[in-house]
Amino acid sequence: MKLHASRVYTIMGFMVALANSTMFTTYAVYQIIALGLNPFQLLLVGAVLEVTVLLFEGITGVIADTYSRRLSVIIGMFVLGFGFILEGSAIWLGTGSSVIPAFLWLLIAQLIFGVGATFVSGADTAWIVDEVGEEHAGGLFLEAKRIGLYGTLIGIGLSVGLSALAPNLPYVIGGLMYAVLGGFLLIYMKETKFTAMKRTADTSHWQNMKGTWVLGAQMIRRHFVLVLMLIVTLFSGAASEGYDRLWQAHFIMDIGFPQSIQFTAAAWFGIIAVLSTFLSLFAMGIAQRRLDMCNEHVVLRGMIVLTIARIAAILSVALSSNFIWVLVSVLILEVIRTMSGPMYDTWLNLNIESRSRATVLSMMSQSDALGQTVGGPLVGWVGNRFSVRASLVVAAVLLSPVLVLFSRALRKR
């Protein structure tokens, strides 16, 4: 059976969302409660991941643009699967008389996870934009995100159920899902619009890859908007790392859950994820009907509004004093983040030439990783030195320069 590229892309989005929500809905139960990580260790885990991405992203992006986006994505899925299974096994490998503690196994798993992520990052988007065309990409990004939200809903239930059996099981099962997805793509993912760079007899593979990287760097240098995008991802990465690693810790350490309802922490995080997913589905439905994703001006204005709302929501989470307040703030923020992803991807791809698409997208991911690498430990140190609330305030402050950059991009247009 032959599947159209857009169908393969939406299935991939569904499976990735399913696996990620299975693992990450209750990650705090595993990392904070079962492994006992403190705020600094949580941010150190993120820092290892982002340093790995920073080092390997450029290499894997160039490989995708030089040889094959399809091959890069498939390799990445299998590597990600292995990394997540290892992360879930850290608690088993680090117990008893093991010379390597569980935390160190966790860091090794993050390194493998980072390498796998770099093979997929940029290559999947570059592949589908070339296959369906830039004029159809924006609508497909929204559709894939909407379909992915259904996978998220299923994964939430799996995460809570598996976590009740053992806190590490969501990672093991999520890793197996990535391996299954790799097998699916091996059969059904086709590459029809991409032409690999031809290598002459006197040109080595390294020279070929260097030429691809230089081409991507020159494209960014020539385009003012792409330079702005690099800076945007730098600050956005610094802000997101702090929030992503600490919002569940904020619930556990600072706010607490209602004592009148005897739910476990895993169940509460599952409920929060379900609520945010349903709200996101509603918001995505409106966006698909109302937004012209082919109009760069509309997309950019939308990004400015969403960034303002995102800063306000993070500050609201940080300053919250009771469960209802922080719950509403988190739900609003998750909807904002869901909306921002497809819009940012559309804006980015409207400004990139096909031949260097994966390389430029990888450079953007490198900038994001640099922001998370530098910003993450800073936010974690603030959490250890003062409080998790203070860390979240710093995360909001780190996001504020993005508004200035988006405004400049809009004026430039």
Q: Residue 108 — very low, low, confident or very high, per pLDDT cuts 50/70/90?
A: very high
Average pLDDT over the chain, rounded to whole?
82
Domain-located, residue 356: yes
Q: Give 229-249 pLDDT, tens digit per residue.
A: 777 777 777 777 677 767 777
Q: Residue 6 — very low, low, confident or very high, per pLDDT cuts 50/70/90?
A: very high
* pLDDT of res. 265: 78
Higher pLDDT, 116 or 322: 116
Over residues 109-113, mean pLDDT: 94
- Tokens representing residue 366 in the block: 């490198």
CA distance 404 to 386: 29
Percent with pLDDT over 70 in the chain: 88
Q: What distances in angstroms separate CA 23 from CA 52, 56, 137, 318, one per listed residue?
A: 20, 24, 28, 25
3-class SS of residue 94: coil
Domain-located, residue 197: no
CA distance 384 to 403: 29
Q: What distances in angstroms separate CA 412 from CA 17, 223, 295, 347, one per listed residue?
A: 35, 11, 15, 14
Predicted structure pTM score: 0.77
Q: Give 32-41 pLDDT, tens digit per residue.
A: 888 888 877 8
Domain-located, residue 275: yes
Domain-located, residue 218: yes
**DSSP code per residue over 296-310:** HHHHHHHHHHHHHHH
CA distance 219 to 65: 14
Q: Is the pLDDT of residue 253 over 90?
A: no
Q: Give 381-395 pLDDT, tens digit per residue.
A: 777 777 778 888 888
Domain-located, residue 406: yes
- Tokens representing residue 22 in the block: 């299975």
CA distance 398 to 240: 9
The answer to whether 359 and 122 are in contact (CB under 8 A) is: yes
Q: Give 254-281 pLDDT, tens digit per residue.
A: 788 888 777 877 788 888 888 888 898 8
CA distance 241 to 347: 22
Query: Which structural domain, as residue segments, surrounds residue 355?
Result: 5-190+203-412
Domain count for the chain, please give it.
1
Domain-located, residue 74: yes
CA-nearest of 187, 184, 189 to 131 is 189
Over residues 297-322, mean pLDDT: 86
Domain-located, residue 408: yes
Q: What distances in angstroms separate CA 198 from CA 71, 98, 211, 283, 297, one per listed residue?
A: 17, 49, 12, 45, 37
Q: Residue 224 — very low, low, confident or very high, per pLDDT cuts 50/70/90?
A: low
Per-residue exposure over 340-360, b if at least 16 CB sit within 10 Å of its own CB, e if not: bebbbbbbbbbbbebbbbbbb
The answer to whether 228 and 408 are in contact (CB under 8 A) is: yes
Domain-located, residue 352: yes
Domain CATH code at residue 256 = 1.20.1250.20
Q: Residue 137 — very low, low, confident or very high, per pLDDT cuts 50/70/90?
A: confident
- Tokens representing residue 239 in the block: 């802000």
3-class SS of residue 187: helix
Over residues 286-293, mean pLDDT: 76
Q: Is the pLDDT of residue 206 over 70?
A: no
Over residues 374-380, mean pLDDT: 73
